[in-house]
A and B are shown apart, each in its own frame.
Chain A
Amino acid sequence: MGMKRKYWKGIEELKQTPQFLESRDQEFPAQTSVEEFLSDENLQETSTARRDFLKFLGFSVAAATVAACEAPVTKVIPYVNKPENVTPGLATWYASTYYDGSSYASIVVKTREGRPIFIKGNKDYGFTQGATNPQIIASVLGLYDSARLTGPTVKGEAENYAKLDSKIKDALGAANKVVLVSNTIISPTMGEAINELSLSLGGVRDELGSVSNDKFSHIQYDAVSYSGMRAANKESFGTTVISADPNSDGIIPDYDFSKAKTIVSVGADFLNSWLLPTQFTPQYSMRRDPDGEWMSKHYQFESVLSITGSNADVRGMIKPSEEANVLAYLLKKFNVSTGVSTKLSKATKASADSAYKALKSTKSESLVVCGSNNKAVQILANKLNSVLGAYGKTINTNAPINLFKSEDSHMGKFVKSVVAGNGPDAVIFYDVNPVYTLPNGAEFGEKLKKVKTTISLASYADETASNCMYVCPDHHGLEAWADMNPKRGHYSIAQPTIRPLHNTASAMESFLVWAGKEKRGGKDSKVAYDFIQNIWNIWGFSEQTTYSDFETYWSMMVHNSCVDEEIPAPTDQVFNDATLNNLGELPKSELTEFILYQKAGVGSGKHANIPWLQELPDPITKVTWDNYITMNPVEMEGKYATTFDQEHGLNQATIKVGKSELTLPVYPLPGQTPGTVGVALGYGRGANGENIGKAAFQTQEYGGHVILEDGNPAPIGGNAFAFVGEENGTPSYSGACSVTKAEGVYPIAATQLNQTVMGRHSIVRETTLNAYKTKDKEAYNPSWTLQKLDEHGNHVEAPMKEFDLWDEHPVENIGHRWGMTIDLSSCIGCGSCLVACQSENNVPVVGKTEVRRGREMHWLRIDRYFASDEEAAIGQRKDKATFSYDEAEKPMENPQVIHMPMMCHHCNHAPCETVCPVAATTHSNEGLNMMTYNRCIGTRYCANNCPYKVRRFNWFNYPSYKAQAEVNPAQDDLGRMVLNPDVTVRTRGVMEKCSFCVQRIQEGKLEAKKDGRPVQDGDYASACADSCPTNAITVGDWNDTESTVRKNADDKRAYQVLEDVGVKPNVWFHVKVRNEQNDILDKLQVVKEAHHGAAEEHGAGGHEENSHH
């Protein structure tokens, strides 16, 4: 028993660095000592002397006393005519749809008194099954961004619509050539509005309904392109693939991860950014249930450790250029020769062999996906799927996905012509930001100023819009009517949930007005609404039989937000083998390769202004507010700092791709393929000081933006779109680069080192599917026991629940006992719960500096543990001084990952409650650990005593303290509108923490009481459970023996974190089950001799604990 599986949160812990050891023993990060504080030279610059200070103090005490005697008069204004669906104090939910050019989901929007305040997935309708992502949830905050344009402008000056429209109409009419650049339009109605614009400019409609016009062209352009995939599908299957438009670039088929028993992903981050994660995530997680009919086996070959890779059963590290090699290797195993190199490293080969075995056994019930945008690589993936017979089973080419129709060749030509100065004389930009997302964006932006007429429909004066002459701002998605057709057979509607806040106009209306078809409708315009309704009448209503009158049909469509036509079943496709001989340019193998990826928070940069997303710790690196170069720590050894903490930052490096270069900190990311570096897209927004939102820029320690030499605020990170190259005719997101160490150390704000595992082995538990299926529960999920004396005076083992330090609270089986279960097998670490919690509970944003001080306020954090298989068990380390983790070297290179949401456990023997001197935190007879802010005096004893480290101290008055002025949404009148009125906005000096969304508990109970029935499942869902795309989090009444949460808590996979401490939490986790072969883990997980093992283990854990307190 010398071996133990080790879990570590960061390399600091693995290596036991001095900084780590110091911070481990200090729960709260080092605070400036008084001497240090007083010796701060900045202090002496202030004019306040000590005596003045005392005077101020005296005055403020007096003032506060006087002020306390007078309460302000509160005004209350009733509606003149109450809108039918609004009852003050009650939330109204609207079904709608979200699409921003990259993410798509059916959503439900919670509004209070007419203000949208919360977005969650629609679990009843739509193929996304209630899944969203952090960006969708946080998009509600974008509605209230004060940087949004409040009305149309001409050359930056405000203008009214009448003048603007006539100028634009004249300009368009006079232009020789008009180009409309938009993101992928998945709205049939928007397509029709654009057709109208084209027709008005001399277009001709053919008998099929499509409009052609020599003078007007429409280019669809996506920030992140999938055109290589479309090209590959066009070549692979030729005409056998039904395509909506014969002229299109080919299709992207629909993938069904719920039918795939073996999933092989080569560089596709399909749980986070690849294609339609909101659809794939629920499908995937459905088959990751070890208790289900079968559990899928997931292989991931990738360069940057992605969210998807962190969930894989087997993860192979490859360079971007090796993606083709992996596919070719697998094809070779299936006796298909491709002429592509099959050279792989030894470890990757082993993983690929295992993947081959799995693929061979599951045949058509397999799915191979590939993230490359190189046609050649995608053709190889297609061939592999074809060989497996996946077409016809897991891949449906008959229901193609309509997203990502980037017409890159057209865009390329257009950009070239503009840059060369011989472009069209009128350009319209709709929902695109090419100046930011083009590799030569800056140059394009400069030349754009020379184009005679430039029109933007952007909501912000962003990189592109600020170079345009006319800006006619579009509504926010929550203010506008829209329809969508994300894939064949599925149509959806987005309805507005608030009256437009500003003098903006729906883009659809603008197109129709410029086409001369409609007049401006003003603030309560029905132009777009009528147009959409009309189209749905012609194309939708007439083609269905369920509803006999249009009114009912339309109401139902809006109510459900979407409708499915019969979707054709997948059919097998004949692969055109000739394409294998004509792959074209393959990615070249390079010494150092870079790969661009998208983070869960910021994505492709569209939401860079939303502070919730900037402060969302990256699921893998746990870094907030920054962009960085990811590099394998093994490779960094000796050259770069591989550890960092609050005082010591990261070394910087300059990455050079072609002529572009960026200097960023180098982050040690275990699992990054040696020889590669990763850089996230979406950073460096507003590099020329464009007003895209306060939170998109770096902030100073005591408030205000960091101002660069040119007078502009400093953007966060650097823009990696500059590295996008071209390969095989399509944009490529990887390639050769050089990385050279740069001067300086960069402080980074990561949330990962603030707390540690402290060597306790009762935190994360995992097992293999095989062990789970064949072994006894005690092998993979041993229960804790303690010794006690029985009536005969003998030592006997007894389960933990028999031991109570204090009298028990009467919560079990009486009244309610609110509990939560979290399935570690399902949790993919996406971060949706965290943002949802922030949105629901008015959790403040604190900014980078405060995060660096360990003062992030998130009530819910997601702990990311790296797992390695070897570590000497505690107490067996021979010599602490010479102990080394050489054994762990390999795992550090490519470790396994566990994501673990962590929030207040609402312990029934809560250690926090007993130490509160003012009884501000107390226990409810429903099992909740209550926090009463008004009683709290901020001693922080409770946080000190919390074994889970989930309590947060409110250091500042975030809604008004100037250091948070740029980042906290509650600091301005608009941003404040996003606050949930049912939850107190906490003030300075109090503790706060997860309340299990007690406001929702009370609401759910009240509903049941009013209905005169017991509380049932579904009456209450915490924000995190509500937003979880994989349903990993379940909440409910444990005392209700029929409830899901009770069943989950009684499951044999259920365990409680730190159960051995005896705090009796109300949160249960489910042991993570990986569908992997892991002999080491199997060897470790045996039923221990009941008496001996458990006691010894507990002894060790207890010892460790004692040594730190």
Chain B
Amino acid sequence: MFRKFRRWCLPALVLLFVSGTFKSQAQGDALFNTKCATCHQIFKDGTGPKLFNVRQKWSEGGAIEGTIFQWVNNWKTAAASDPYAQNVSTWSGTAMDIFPDLSQEQITSIFDWIDLQEPVEAEAAKSDGSSSSEEDSSSGWIWIILGSIFIVIILSVGGVRRQLKATEAEEAGVDFNENMSYMDELKQWAWVNRRYVGVGMLVIVIGLVVVVFLGLYTVGIVEDYHPSQPIDFPHSVHAGTNGIDCKYCHNSVTKSRTAGLPTVNVCMNCHKQVAGSSPEQQEKIKKIYEAAGWDPSVGAGKYTNETKEIVWNKVHVLPDHVYFNHSQHVVVGGIDCKQCHGDMTKTVETARVQPISELNKVEGNIPLTRPTLTMGWCIECHQEKEVSGGSLDTKKDGYYDEIHKRLMDNDKSLYSKYLEDGKVTVKELGGWECAKCHY
């Protein structure tokens, strides 16, 4: 169970991650993820049937025009009026949720988006997380095979050339040293062309050093770290669809250094009632019941007191020598969770370390350049972030008021230097100092 960061030594893998970003109906994408994705997959049957070209399937199967929209809004009405729909309703034992609030255009946008997907890309996009290590090794094989083919080609060409040379020498009557090995020959050739070989070697060595250093810079970068979790918790459903405030579950975020993982009893506040509609959901929620020691089968449910802890894999891991305090940032700094964690209302899968490129896309975030969760990232934000909004010399906020007052009263020139860019930043009040985070 180790996180793999071997990508830097296998640059080819990078290619895989540059697999195209889809430009399709954003609305359909989002709606599919929030409404359908828990049960439906595009190319594979799951809890619900696969949805690729589903409209075509329905019309070919003889469904009445438009029933499919009715079906999505409330499948029961559709099943009642259309025999094809009636047939579809027997597809699985699990009944589909109803979505009465989806308009015809929205449903169309979902189908449009689905039909635009291409099987291969979808597979690749889906498997970027947990199975990346397999790709690591498979792409490694490709390189090894390519490499050996090259070596074979070089050797055969060399052999042919040697033969030709020997023949040429024979023809010219020169004594060709048959015993001269490849190595000797190479040496001889290198000596003859020593100027070019020297420059070439220099270039190669410098290149290698650069590559090694660039590689070393990526050590410890955990962007996109997405560990597997015991429960596939969809943030999008909780924070997005249901609009639950982050602080409801991560409730020590305003008080403590840690935001806190929700304790199981917090989950149970809702999940006593919400048992899930699809088997997949039910399966997940069952794990919560097991942890909480809740037996839903007895009457309205009952606690058995046989609890079990849920062992999550920590996503945002800081080294032990770094002190980070959530409450400092959330309460005092007024930083939105999105700044560092991205828009969790749209994260269908479990949490991952969002790359800086994605964080920068979130509206309202301070744009930064350094990779997420690196010290450069912290430092950069501390340089950008101003300590207090509004006109600073009139700012009335107990603590910072006093700090600004001391600056104003006792060192105006320093204060005006701070204010050259119109703001006093975290850095200027000491946010770049080692002992703010390391002790």
Contact = CB atoms under 8 A, between A and B. Distances in A.
A860 B320 CA distance: 24
B312 A995 contact: no
B288 to A, nearest CB: 10
A954 to B, nearest CB: 13
A416 interface: no
A921 B276 CA distance: 56
Given A87-B256, A1008-B399, A984 B438 contact: yes
A362 interface: no
Interface residues of B, number: 63
A71 B3 contact: yes
A387 interface: no
Contact of B264 (A79, A924, A935, A1015): A79
Contacts of B327: 1006, 1010
Contacts of A71: 2-3, 5, 220, 222, 317
Interface in B397-439: 397-403, 406-407, 409-411, 414, 429-430, 433-436, 438-439
B398 A1013 contact: yes
Interface stretch (A102-110, A121-129, A210-218, A810-818): A810-818
B230 to A, nearest CB: 10
Contacts of B331: 1009-1010
Interface in A41-82: 68-82
A1002 B430 contact: no
A1008 B398 contact: yes
A984 to B, nearest CB: 5
B439 A80 contact: no
A18 interface: no
B435 A930 contact: yes
Interface stretch (B72-80, B141-149, B188-196, B303-311): B303-311
Interface string B378-410: 000000000000000000011111110011011
Contacts of B313: 73-76
Contacts of B264: 78-81
Given A87-B252, A815-B406, A983-B439, A78 B312 contact: yes
A27 interface: no
Interface in A218-236: none
B99 interface: no
A571 interface: no
A90 interface: yes
A810 B430 CA distance: 11
Contacts of A72: 1-3
Indicate the member of B256, B260, B307, B400 with the most A CB atoms within 10 Å.
Answer: B260
B219 interface: yes
A814 B256 contact: no
Nearest to B260: A88
Contacts of B409: 813
A1039 B406 contact: yes
Contact of A998 (B4, B260, B325, B439): B439
Contacts of A922: 433-434
B26 interface: no
A188 to B, nearest CB: 36
B328 interface: yes
Say whether chain A's binding surface is mostly helix, strand, loop, or mixed.
Answer: loop
A225 B388 CA distance: 64
Nearest to A1039: B406
Nearest to A919: B434
A89 B256 contact: yes
B399 A815 contact: no
Interface string A1005-1026: 1101111111100000000000
Nearest to B266: A82
A778 to B, nearest CB: 29
A335 B256 CA distance: 68
A925 interface: yes
B423 to A, nearest CB: 17
B1 A924 contact: no
A1050 B410 CA distance: 19
A81 B265 contact: yes
A89 B314 contact: no
Interface string B285-321: 0000001110000000000000111111110010011
B332 interface: yes
Interface of B: 1-6, 8, 219-220, 222, 227, 252, 255-258, 260-265, 291-293, 307-314, 317, 320-321, 323, 325, 327-328, 331-332, 397-403, 406-407, 409-411, 414, 429-430, 433-436, 438-439
20 contacts: A69-B5, A70-B3, A71-B5, A72-B2, A73-B227, A73-B314, A77-B312, A78-B263, A78-B309, A80-B263, A922-B434, A924-B434, A924-B435, A925-B430, A930-B435, A982-B323, A999-B323, A1012-B397, A1013-B398, A1039-B406
